[in-house]
Amino acid sequence: MPGLGSGGSLDTGGVRWTPSRMIARLGKEINNPESICYWAQKNQIPVLSPALTDGSLGDMIFFHSYKRPGLVLDIVEDLRLINTQAIFACKTGMIILGGGLVKHHIANANLMRNGADFSVYVNTAQEFDGSDSGARPDEAVSWGKIRVDATPVKVYADASLVFPLLVAETFARRAGAFVGTEGTPEPGGTPEG
């Protein structure tokens, strides 16, 4: 695996690894323009993953820790990063695809700033089983994770089908404003305009 197997590169040089640093390193090592991680690291955008060890990457980290002991993955630094970004942001918005841990992590960061200004959930989960994934936006409002004056939306649909359509009809239509071809967007704008 790039980054993990290249001579113990993840546990040398006194680097304190966080999930976001590890993802950036993997994006760099992958060196594939079709990868979101590649573009995120290239543009110095942290990819925050509180569940990095869940799945095959976690298995690789586990095996790597036996081959080269000493690798420590500090999730607290990433937690401080997401919470601090939320606290000091002028406005925040959440687009939550799916649910579970990631939904909870992002919503909790917004709790630190008295709630997100905008929120869209896209998932197929129902609330009757008590899962975080199925919780409607009004539950997040009751906790202070979404502002009381916000107009949150939950779309009951498969995110892999619906999200590309949402992007095509919203952000993609205004992409020129973000890259400077249609002038400079006004700061503090709203999703509607």
158-163 mean pLDDT? 95
100, 40 Cβ separation under 8 angstroms: no
pLDDT above 90 covers what percent of the chain?
60
pLDDT of residue 44: 95
pLDDT of residue 192: 45
CA–CA separation, 148 vs 139, rounded Å?
Answer: 11
Neighbours of 135 (CB within 10 A): 22
* Whole-number CA gyration radius for the chain: 19
Statement: residue 47 has pLDDT above 50: yes
Q: Which residues are catalytic?
A: 145
- In the block, tokens 């993990």 appear at 4
CA–CA separation, 26 vs 20, rounded Å?
Answer: 10
CA–CA separation, 141 vs 71, rounded Å?
Answer: 39
pLDDT of residue 64: 87
Condensed to tens digits (0 to 9), the pLDDT of residues 25-42 reads: 999 999 999 999 999 999
Condensed to tens digits (0 to 9), the pLDDT of residues 90-130 reads: 999 999 999 888 899 999 999 999 999 999 999 999 888 77
With cut-offs at 50, 70 and 90, classify the pLDDT of residue 184: very low
- Tell me which of 191 and 102 has the higher pLDDT: 102
- Tell me which of 1 and 32 has the higher pLDDT: 32
User: Within the chain, where are the H helices?
Assistant: 19-30, 36-42, 56-67, 75-88, 101-111, 137-143, 159-169, 175-179
Average pLDDT, the chain: 86
Statement: residue 188 has pLDDT above 70: no
